[in-house]
Amino acid sequence: MFNTVERFASWVSLGLVVSPFTAWAEWRTPAKVAVDLATEIRGGERRAVLLLSAGVGTACDGAASDLKTTAKFDEGSTVIEILGYDFTPDPRRPEDRGACPAYLAEARARVSLPNFWLKPDTESRMTFVLGSMQNVYVIKRNGFRVELHPLKATTVLASRFPEAVPGPSSAVKTIIWPANVGRLYLAGSVESGWDYQVALRAFAKANKMMPADEIHKTLKDDGPTYLGTSAGRHGASPEPQPPYRSSTEPSWRRGLPYRSL
C-alpha cells in the first residue's frame, strides 16, 4: 500500500514539473478561408485541385495541423465542408521563445477534382460550407481551361493568398495541361518590354514543337518570354524548374503547371 501511494505521489510530482511546458492542441474553425485552383497528377492523369488555406496567426503563436475537409460529389454539384484544424500554441513564455519569424502561418487543404466529375465543356455548382455559412460558386471547364466563379461568397473567398481574404471574392482559374505539353522559356538576360513571341514560335516550329494554342485554343497561356508547346524532339522532360540559365538560348520545360511568384 505504501509503495502504491509513493508511486502515485511521484507521478503527481512529475506531472507538476512537466505540465507548464506541455502544449495541448485546441480545435479551431477559421472565420475565413481562401480558395485557389491548381493542378496535380493523380492516378497517372492530370486533374484540377482546389487549394484551401486559412490564416492561423504568426509562426510565433504556435503550429496548425492540415485543414480538415469533407467532399461529396454528385452529378452537376458538389458540397465541400471545411471543418477546422488543430492548433497547438507555443507553450513557452514570449520572453523564452527567442527570435521568431513573423510570417503568417496557415492551415492548408487540397481537394482533388476527378476528371470524371469535372468533364470538358460543362459547369457545376460548388458549395463550400464553413460553420453556418454556405458559399456558392460555379466551376466551369471549357476544353482544358477551368474557372471558379463566385455566386454568393462571404467566408470562403477566391484568392491565392489567405492574407488577402478580407477583400471581395473574384474568379480563379487554371489549365489542365496534357502530359506532352510544356513551356518554352527565353531565359537569361532579356530586354524589358520586348515581346519575343514571334521568335519563340519560329524556334518551336523549327524544332518540331507545336504551339499549344494550335493544339487547342484553350491551351493559350503565352507571355512575352515564354510559349506553351508540345514536347517536340525533346520528348519527356523532368518536372518544372525555374529557368535559371546564363544564356538567352530558348529552353524547354514541362513547366506549364509551374507558376512563378
| pLDDT values of the chain reduced to their tens digit, one per residue, 261 residues | 445 545 444 444 444 444 444 557 789 899 999 999 999 988 888 999 999 999 887 767 777 889 999 999 999 999 999 999 998 877 666 666 666 665 677 889 999 999 999 999 999 999 999 999 999 999 999 999 999 999 999 999 988 665 555 555 678 999 998 888 888 887 666 677 787 888 888 888 888 889 999 999 999 887 888 888 987 654 443 333 333 333 334 454 443 333 222
CA distance 9 to 141: 66
* Residue in the block written with cell 476528371: 115
* Ramachandran quadrant class, 207 (left: phi over 0; alpha: psi -120 to 50; beta: rest): alpha
CA distances from 213 to 180, 183, 258, 259 (A): 13, 12, 18, 18
CB 87 within 8 A of CB 56: yes
156-158 and 33-42 strand pairing: parallel
Q: What is the pLDDT of residue 236?
A: 41
Q: What CA–CA distances, in Å, run from 184 to 7, 51, 215, 220, 225?
A: 71, 26, 15, 13, 8
pLDDT, position 160:
67
- For residue 75 the three cell numbers come to 452529378
The predicted pLDDT at position 36 comes to 93
The closest of 131, 115, 105, 111 to 51, measured between CA atoms, is 111
